[in-house]
Chain A
Amino acid sequence: MTAPDVLQPSTPEEAVLLFEEGVTVIGGGTIVVPELTSGRLRPKKAMLLTGAGLAGISRDGPRITIGATTPVSELESLPAPIGPCAANVADTEIRAQGTVGGNLCAGEGLESPRGDLQAALLAVGATVRSAGAGGETTEPLEDFLQHRKDRLLLDVSFEEPSAGAFAPLIRPHTHDYTALAVSAARAADGTVRLAASGVAGYAVRLPGAEAKASDPEGAAEVATADVTFADDALASAWYRNRTLPVLVRRALTQLQEV
């Protein structure tokens, strides 16, 4: 095996300039490095973002912006659903190394969905700034997730919600990816957004349930209509189908109590 050509940008501008489709982007390394060690991934070209200056959380009034290589652990102090969702990712060491960008951009795993943080950030209506073909764009996270493998994520930002809630299935083990978790958030204008991680390849909004957000029971009844469930080693499609309504009800009830 020949070692890949490794790009090591030292500024965000250099990272944008060097990025091209097909390059393997490494944030913290928690996903890519084991793939390299095992030989499952043999990239010709890789880009290591450690020194690219893309880490950090900044606030501008109610707007919070999280740089791509910010470790997941730094999100634990953010408001719900982001904080509790980040604290529910893997273990202490992995959270301190894995990055927000990696968590959002991770492709589907060999056995199960990845991207624990996706639903929490969908629930707060996050937008993503990314680079790639056609230049730099800012778009809703929903749209970004569909073509995330072709883009270099620079940062993700959102307005701090007035209330938030996070309802996960308890993980069988600390290292399992999220089998199913529902995030809910009420924006400053009163809009409630609901999203689920772990349903399938990437997280999705639950528009049917959002429309009935003031009625947790009613929202739970319609939640599964918007989703196609993965059937994998972590949980069967049947199990996900049965538990999504429970988590929707819990998240919305929690939200009412905040």
Chain B
Amino acid sequence: MPANRFNAFTDYGIGIGLRVPHYAHILEKKPVVDWFEIISENFMVDGGRPLHVLDRILEQYRVVQHGVSMYFGSAEKPDRTHLKKLKQLVKRTKTPWLSDHLCWGSVDGTFTHDLLPMPYTFAAARRTAEKIRYVRDCLDVPICVENVSSYAEFHASEMTEWEFLSEVVERADCGILLDVNNIYVSSKNHDFDPYDYVNGVPVDRVGQIHVAGHTKFEKYILDTHDHPVLDPVWKLYAHAIRRCGVTATLLEWDDKIPSFDEVHDEALKANAFIGGARAARKPAQAARA
């Protein structure tokens, strides 16, 4: 499960998001980091500084692409220009797998730049899975879809979110980027047990895990990525790791970004949970040998 066909049989460890305020530190100090996750769209440009920085990062580090605008759940077809640019980037980064969200965000070629929730229906699952297959075939790289945090549910829904996620990934035969912070946020906003969610997804398809911070408001929780990870999310992460085994894990910190070291230290807290899973794996491997 740690290394599976959805993450190209890698065992990447703990990564952090590559963000502009840290560029200078990374390029000058060359800190030891297992891997960086990049937002694909930030580098789907035709030239200039972004690609120059990326190339320098690629000389030193392993990079995985994470997208925010493929909108697998949008009813419209994938945009060819978008796919072409994404494919160029995939060739550049040699990302072992590529992730994007189980959501929609565009209609008639107009974009919200948001991760809007899906209606959890069989028709939507079929359409979404078709699109994931199409994109994967175009890009020729394993795909993991990420569960989003949400603030609304639809009357039309026919199943729970984790049943929908399972339906989509089974139909698409793709991986899961399990965002445990998003599960926690949605569980509070929609009153379900986050452990039911983690127990309900096909763990053999989990190729990567996200952790992040969120913000509590009076009537709902917002996925803000501007805090350290909160304790209930680490607990849920621990549970996910127990189920999934050692899994490539990434801390997302996108707003009010502190120093590189602070972000990296926060990410490395995941070692406390991964270490246990790794130790548990060794006797099993020894027994098999």
The answer to whether A and B interact is no
